[in-house]
Amino acid sequence: MENLSRRKALSLGVALGLVGVANPVQAWASTGSGTGSAAGTGPEWIWDDAADPLMVSMLEKGHVPAINTAWASWVNNNDPLPGGLPAEFTAYLRQVNRLPSWADPAKLDRAADFNRRRDTYLFMLYGLGSGIMSTVIPREAKSVYWSAGGADMQDRAAKTFTFGYDLSELGAFKPTGQFVVTANKTRVVHAAVRHLLPQSPHWRAVADETVPISAADILVTFHSLGTYVHRKLLDWRIPYPAADQEAFLHSWQVAVHLLGVPYEHIPRTWAEAERQSAQVLTPILAPSTEGIKLAEELLGLTAQIDLGVTRGFLNEFVRYVLSDEVGDWLGLRRDYASAALVRTAWPAYVLFREGLSPVMPGTFYMFDQFVRALAMLFLNKGSSGTTTPITIPTGNRAA
Ligand code: HEM
């Protein structure tokens, strides 16, 4: 059994470019938590001391609907805190609604510029790579499926796009940007989910944990987003100088911190992030009933938008960026003609687009329409073109 899962981790790791040996204790130790894992104090034992008790109190006192109404107009980082919030909630926001002291404005500016220059690849990799990968991270798939938002994936996907969009926006971290507010709203939503999901008999029946969304889980999700995209950009030989790499990492370090993960557990370098990802993400990827349904819904939604490609092409593109193993787990129907096209023409498209090859592939315009349509999907924040408000749930998915 052990050999089998080790082999699985290695073959998937090769496909995702994140190879490692499963030993989570060591992985978290390398983030600076020392013997934390063994002693029960590593990031898998950390949730959110500041937001969690507050949200228990807000939910139990019935304040959440009023908070959702009051914070709808709170959008920009420099907006004053909204009126009409319970005093405790305002006091909490006053403490957390700022960049950490170690945030480096020059790096954040560079990250914003990098995000703009590379937005098509980023949106595509986040959307089809990380988005579908989240459905084979069993804890994430089960909590997303059984939380209130799981019942309306279109809306949920749009909200998640809001996070990616606000992070990628030029000036996201500046006073006129929106990312600090979006991250703070997300942190509070996660805190509410930690109280609500354990009350769901459906979630309890399938979960392997008693409280969801630990700091370790958030780091796993970060690796499925930032670390994965970083690796793919390198694999695809997209020009990506060291200063861009450092800036991109820094924007994620700040993002993860704003979601409540203590500084000492956030990887300091991409090398450390890749090592940790190989140890804590690759080995846990697996199909689940909930994940299979979520992937089908997400890909069905994407197929509704005219990306200029067929569903078979979409399935094969997901297989290309995530491996056939993941494609098989999710039951993505094969389209061998598209598979051959993606595997040969995509690298040629990237090389031509980046000026690294003078030969324009015959399929250039097809791929170009595809990446532009996906980018527009993000830039329009899902479908409506307006901000999709993040709201705190007050219950779980019924069935
Ligand atoms: C909600 C992003 C980690 C489970 C959200 C929302 C965003 C978000 C933007 C609000 C949108 C919405 O309400 O749907 C992130 C990011 C993460 C992260 C950027 C890490 C870098 C996780 C992890 C889990 C998780 C690790 C579970 C293992 C959920 C659930 C909701 C949620 C269940 C609530 C959905 C609802 O409204 O019912 N997350 N998340 N998230 N997230 Fe996360």
Distance 138 CA to ligand 1 centre (A): 14
Distance 190 CA to ligand 1 centre (A): 6
Asked if residue 63 is part of any domain, the answer here is no
What CA–CA distance (Å, rounded) separates 327 from 319? Answer: 5
Alpha-carbon dihedral 24, 26, 30, 35, rounded to 10 degrees: 110
Asked if residue 336 is part of any domain, the answer here is yes
Burial 244-276 (b: 16+ CB within 10 A, else e): bbbbbbbbbbbbbbbbbbbeebbbeebebbbbb
ipTM exceeding 0.90, yes/no: yes
Low-confidence ranges of the chain (pLDDT < 70): 1-41, 158-162, 303, 378-388
Choose which residue among 184, 213, 257 to substitute to test ligand 1 binding: the one with the highest number of ligand atoms within 8 A of its C-beta: 213
* Cβ count within 10 A of residue 324: 15
Longest dimension (CA), the chain: 65
Question: What's phi and psi for 29, nearest 5 deg?
Answer: -55, -35
Choose which residue among 144, 256, 277 to substitute to test ligand 1 binding: the one with the highest number of ligand atoms within 8 A of its C-beta: 144
Asked if residue 289 is part of any domain, the answer here is yes
Nearest to 284, CA basis, from 318, 326, 252, 231: 326
Residue with tokens 């993941």: 326
Residues framing ligand 1 (Cβ under 6 A): 139-140, 143-144, 147-149, 156, 159-160, 163, 186, 189-190, 193, 212-213, 217-218, 221-222, 225, 256, 259, 390, 393
pLDDT tens-digit readout, 32-84: 433 344 456 689 899 999 999 999 999 999 999 999 999 999 999 999 999 99
Instruction: Please state the atom number of ligand 1 nearest to the C-alpha of residue 226.
Output: 21
What's the structural domain count of the chain?
1
Asked if residue 8 is part of any domain, the answer here is no
Backbone angle region of 214, left / alpha / beta, with phi > 0 → left and psi within -120 to 50 → alpha = beta
Residue ID of nearest Cα to ligand 1 atom 13: 390
Distance 250 CA to ligand 1 centre (A): 21
Residue 300 has, within 13 A of its CA and on its CB side, a CA count of: 9
Asked if residue 16 is part of any domain, the answer here is no
pLDDT of the residue at 1 = 39
pLDDT of the residue at 37 = 46
What CA–CA distance (Å, rounded) separates 190 from 183? Answer: 10
pLDDT of the residue at 170 = 77
pLDDT of the residue at 158 = 65
Identify whether the C-beta of residue 93 lies closer than 8 Å to the C-beta of residue 392: no
Choose which residue among 64, 134, 186 to substitute to test ligand 1 binding: the one with the highest number of ligand atoms within 8 A of its C-beta: 186
Residue ID of nearest Cα to ligand 1 atom 37: 149
What string of DSSP letters covers 166-216?
HHHSTTTTSTT-SHHHHHHHHHHHHHHHHHHGGG-HHHHHH-SSSS---HH
Residue 79 has, within 13 A of its CA and on its CB side, a CA count of: 18
Asked if residue 65 is part of any domain, the answer here is no
Instruction: Please state the atom number of ligand 1 nearest to the C-alpha of residue 148.
Output: 38
Asked if residue 323 is part of any domain, the answer here is yes
Asked if residue 127 is part of any domain, the answer here is yes
pLDDT of the residue at 149 = 85
Residue with tokens 């030969």: 359
pLDDT of the residue at 214 = 96
Can you give the residue range of the structural domain that contains 358?
A: 106-390
Residue 153, beta-bridge partner list: none
* Cβ count within 10 A of residue 176: 12
